[in-house]
Amino acid sequence: MKIGALIIGDELLSGKRQDRHFNHLQSVLAQRGLELNWTIIVGDDPEQLQRFLAFSMASKDLVFSFGGIGATPDDRTRESVAKVAEVSLTAHPEAVAEIEAQFGERAYPNRILMADLPEGSRIIPNTINRVPGFSLDGHHFMPGFPEMSWPMIEWVLNTYYPDLRNTAPTDEQIIYVINGRESEIIEAMRLVVLQYPELRLSSLPRLGDNPHIELSLRGDKEHIEPAMAILKAAVKQAGFTWSNQLDSH
């Protein structure tokens, strides 16, 4: 199962607010041995939002979405999800009950609009003000407020994915190719990717006073060792040297 994040709001793109969800979600997932496979930041424009929701909802990924589920005209996530899923947007009985219990008569006429959810949704409890988020299949839609959405992340993982753990690679090996050029060892990288598709290869060239390439492989140790041997041999054949540690001087 791949894991993604949708972070929604014009205020993030304009710079009025800085996103805090990405780093927090990374941390929560890491505690379970999980990691993100992709993240999208998109504004409130309906066409753009539906475009990326269509991409996301066509997958079987586990997706956490933040923002755009309020009652104001610029909150378009609920409506956009319904359009992409081709279902109606209707008052969800549990969401209605939660909002009425919190606000009473003050729930009407506007707050109650946040109980209009795509048909087939399940609510996500909100411990702050009882206005719930919602889940549709593997997508989980939460408010943009961290104090509300962050407990929802924990609730979703504990409720629907209690056994989803330790899928991120646990082993990694890094070498530093001193004064190396990627072009000289690309063929070896291609060979590693072909022979060991389960590994994650990363090549990060660094310029400056201490130019080098940081080559890393992540995955199972039994595969990393022979794959790294291919890279080390290519580095040597190209006339470069490598080290397990980078000299900072």
Domains of the chain (ranges; CATH) run 3-160 (3.40.980.10), 171-243 (3.30.70.1130)
Whether residue 248 has pLDDT greater than 80: no
- pTM here is 0.87
Question: What's the pLDDT score for residue 148?
Answer: 97
Report long-range pairs for 230-234 (Cβ below 8 Å, ≥24 apart).
230/188, 230/191, 230/192, 230/195, 231/175, 231/185, 231/188, 231/189, 231/192, 232/175, 233/188, 234/184, 234/185, 234/187, 234/188
Question: What's the pLDDT score for residue 246?
Answer: 76
Question: What's the pLDDT score for residue 200?
Answer: 94
The count of other CB atoms within 10 Å of the CB of residue 78 is: 22
Distance separating alpha carbons of residues 204 and 85, to the nearest angstrom:
40
Distance separating alpha carbons of residues 74 and 69, to the nearest angstrom:
9
Distance in angstroms between the alpha carbons of the first and the last residue of the chain: 43
Whether residue 249 has pLDDT greater than 60: no
Q: What is the pLDDT of residues 92-146, one digit of tens each?
A: 999 999 999 999 999 999 999 999 999 999 999 999 999 999 999 999 999 999 9
Kindly report the average pLDDT of the chain as a whole number: 95
Q: What is the pLDDT of residues 170-219, one digit of tens each?
A: 899 999 999 888 999 999 999 999 999 999 999 999 988 888 999 999 99
Burial 193-223 (b: 16+ CB within 10 A, else e): eeebeebebeeeeeeeeeebbebbbbbeeeb
Question: What's the pLDDT score for residue 210?
Answer: 84
